[in-house]
Amino acid sequence: MTCLFDATCQRIHVASDLHLNKDDPLTAQRWHRLLQEDDNADAWIMLGDYFDVWVGDDLLDADPSQLPSSDGEAVAFWQHCAQQLQALCQRKPVYWMVGNRDFLLGSRFAAFTGVQLLPDPWLLEGGPLRRLLSHGDAWCTDDTEYMAFRERVRSPEWQSDFLAQPLSARLEQARAMRAQSQAHQRQAPSWSDVSEPVVWAAAQQHGANEVIHGHTHEGRTHALNGIPRHVLGDWALGAAVPRLSVLELTAQSTRFLPLSA
């Protein structure tokens, strides 16, 4: 349990599911412009899937010119994004939770950028509100295939074996897993949602009276047994209807910010 609200921190902005990648420059440009212009937030909380994929913190040290052109462009893009975060962290606190796409992000990234890593879930207390924050994928327990995959790739053994491979091999595997995930989503009858009984149990365990999460990209608020469940939307500026979603927290209120593309 943590209270971030004080005389120097009265307004916190929250985002998730930006899925930043080199093939969607419009989204990255709009996001970075928001970070540079956002003087209203005293702090930021990122709730996972900041990147479309992350194959290890050592890519921060890689020389893009020494990689095949496509891989080099991707690494240069990620390094630029990390530098933008570094600049933000020099101005205000940034709290960071990994998601299902960037779960290999760790202490080296935190040291380089200055973000402060959070466990999932994490309780934020302030004023009358006790907010339970999560990326949200761990609550999608009805998707048994994904939960089995999640357990496998979050194991220390799998991660150690994966990170021991050359960077180019990891990037190739990440592309293959992403293609497989997209195929699975196309075949699924609907997007797998969180299990509300599981979310409610977590809220009760932590004594929360609000829940905030991402992952399912809805960008709206649900009622969960009488308490609000705020679901962040994803970011996609190249979509037919551009999507961009940020929550604003104060000690007394939670609201979605109106943002223009």
* pLDDT score for 57: 97
Tell me, yes or no, whether 5 lies in a domain: no
pLDDT at residue number 127? 85
Q: Which of 118, 69, 123 is nearest to 94 (CA)?
A: 118
Q: Is residue 6 part of a domain?
A: no
Tell me whether residue 70 is in a domain: yes
In this predicted structure, the answer to whether residue 190 has a pLDDT above a threshold of 80 is: no
Which DSSP string corresponds to 155-197?
SHHHHHHHHTS-HHHHHHHHHHHHHHHHHHHHHSSSPPPP-HH
Number of domains the chain contains: 1
Q: What is the pLDDT of residues 9-23, one digit of tens each?
A: 999 999 999 999 999
Mean pLDDT in the chain?
Answer: 93
Range of the domain at 188: 12-256
Residue 7 falls within a domain, yes or no? no
In CATH, what number is assigned to the domain containing residue 154? 3.60.21.10
Is the residue at 2 inside a domain? no
More confident residue, 187 or 51: 51
Tokens 């080099």 correspond to 72
The residues, ordered by sequence, that sit 6+ positions from 143 with a Cβ below 8 Å of its Cβ are: 192
Q: What is the pTM of this model?
A: 0.94
pLDDT confidence tier of residue 8, bands split at 50, 70 and 90? confident
Return the percentage of the chain with pLDDT > 90, whole number.
Answer: 84
In a domain, 82, yes or no: yes
Residue 207 DSSP label: T
Is 172 part of any domain?
A: yes
| Domain-embedded: residue 205 | yes
